[in-house]
Amino acid sequence: MSNETDFAAGTERTSAVVDELAYLPATEALRRFRDRTLSPVELMTAVIERAEAVEPSVNCLAERIYDEAMAGARAAEARYAGKGDAPRPLEGLAVATKEEQPIAGRISSEGSVAFAAEIAEVTHPVVERVLAAGGIVHARTTTPEFSCAAFTRSELWGITRNPWNLAFSPGGSSGGAGAALAAGSTTLATGSDIGGSIRIPASFTGTVGFKPPYGRVPAMPPFNLDTYCHDGPMARTVADCALLQNVLAGPHPLDGVALSPKLVLPTAPEGIEGLRVALSITLGDWLIDPEVEANTRAVADALRAAGAIVEEVPVAITRRDVMDTAMIHFGAIFGSWVRGVAEEYGDQLNAYTLQFAEDTVAAAERGGLLAGLEREAAIQAELGQLLDRYDVLLCPTAGIPAFLADDDYTSTKVTINGVELEHYLEASLTTVFNIASRCPVLSVPSGRASSGVPTGVQIVGRFYDDEMVFRVAAALERVRPWDYVGAGIPAL
């Protein structure tokens, strides 16, 4: 690891200036790179300085790659100066990639002590595309072991904490990515989502996370064939999220399910006057904390102010059915893989990893694949019929503001409105949209809880209608801007 800070000669930076640059939106940074009022070297140095200042508290970086990042920033600076090839779409921007997404020649531990010395032989398509677009991977972000939890902690890396309140988790499994964005330790980040692993951290950290529809972004075998699996972008603004998504999307020779032709999101979405928004606070029968509900209703009111027609609707889905369906699916594919690892390395794995393998495989053996598929089809049909009448569905991302950082929920129960949940994952409203995997879903901030932790809402689109969810989210951001857009950053 290096901690280079080679600003232009004679330039001094106060902490306020460092913070201002560290939280600069990617789209604004690119504009300033192009007009030569900001150098990629200045921005990268500020991001690294901020990351080093907050990392002892937040612990969101699994690996720092600072020497290479500074070299990349200098090369980007030369491109903007007209030396060599023209700048690319992400030229000079700091992008933190999820450690789960391998980079050839670098450690690929997936947060496990058992694999702490594993070296990747291939680079994930998502990382490949970031690098090809001129993005600079200056850091890789923490996850729970094998990305199988909705919090971020492991024996290998320790506990990752929420920058807004260190007592809470940034969520998981892309918790390091969400925390890095919230802490100002990166400009953009990549994540992956098998049950909410992009959207839960986005909600808990007040950032923007996109679960693309299945196949929109290429992934690695064999899990690219798992319809619940999605790689996608995370950012602090809707425009930044769209910028990164436009780089990640498109067909890939190693992923036969990656969609063609590539969808390119518009950089200036239309307004939402007259669009129909279905509002569901409980998405059937999920339990929702009063602060989360209040913030969700405030978002609905903001969309009305932006010209949308918002109607509260019933949804005939139950959290029990969603949990049972998802556990069957996990047990048949991902959970089965985890159990295989546990059989060989069980004494080195985290307790929550072992419990995940045991619970999901048992559910698959009880329920069976066909029964799981029948349940998935019923859930998809319910959402498909609802979205046939509305342009998007609006609901909370999670029923609570955040999970605790110092708990692995192997024995602790989550209680909402006095009701104890059977499994902590029932506090999340995300997994239903991994079942309905062709729905694009953006999680965007909805407000703050009294604890200081942000809350979020999901904007859910019709099957493969990515443009609509970004259109609605952009309109919401215009009428109800959130932290990072203004002066609000965590006081670390």
pLDDT in tens, 359-372: 999 999 999 999 99
Percent of the chain with pLDDT over 90: 94
pTM of the full predicted structure?
0.96
Rg of the Cα atoms in the chain:
21
pLDDT tens, position by position, 18-43: 999 999 999 999 999 999 999 999 99
pLDDT of residue 487: 56
User: Which band of pLDDT confidence, cut at 50, 70 and 90, is reported for residue 137?
Assistant: very high
User: Would you name the residues annotated as active-site residues?
Assistant: 98, 173, 197
Gap between the Cα atoms of 48 and 70, Å rounded: 9
pLDDT at 69 over 60: yes
Pick the closest to residue 157 from 143, 171, 147 (CA basis).
143
More confident residue, 334 or 262: 262
User: Which band of pLDDT confidence, cut at 50, 70 and 90, is reported for residue 486?
Assistant: low
pLDDT at 200 over 90: yes
pLDDT tens, position by position, 447-461: 999 999 999 999 999
The answer to whether residues 427 and 414 touch, using CB atoms and an 8 Å cutoff, is yes
Distances (CA, A) of 360 to 130, 148, 353, 384, 433: 33, 11, 11, 27, 18
pLDDT of residue 491: 82
The answer regarding whether domain 15-479 maps to CATH 1.10.240.10 reads no
> Which residues are CB-neighbours of 388 under 8 A, at least 6 positions away?
462
pLDDT tens, position by position, 362-406: 999 999 999 999 999 999 999 999 999 999 999 999 999 999 999
Pick the closest to residue 142 from 80, 78, 63, 30 (CA basis).
63
Structure tokens at 404: 């605790």
Gap between the Cα atoms of 375 and 321, Å rounded: 8
Question: Considering all CA atoms of the chain, what is the largest pairwise distance in Å, rounded to the nearest integer?
Answer: 68
What are the residue boundaries of the structural domains of the chain, listed by start?
A: 15-479
pLDDT tens, position by position, 153-186: 999 999 999 999 999 999 999 999 999 999 999 9
Percent of the chain with pLDDT over 70: 97
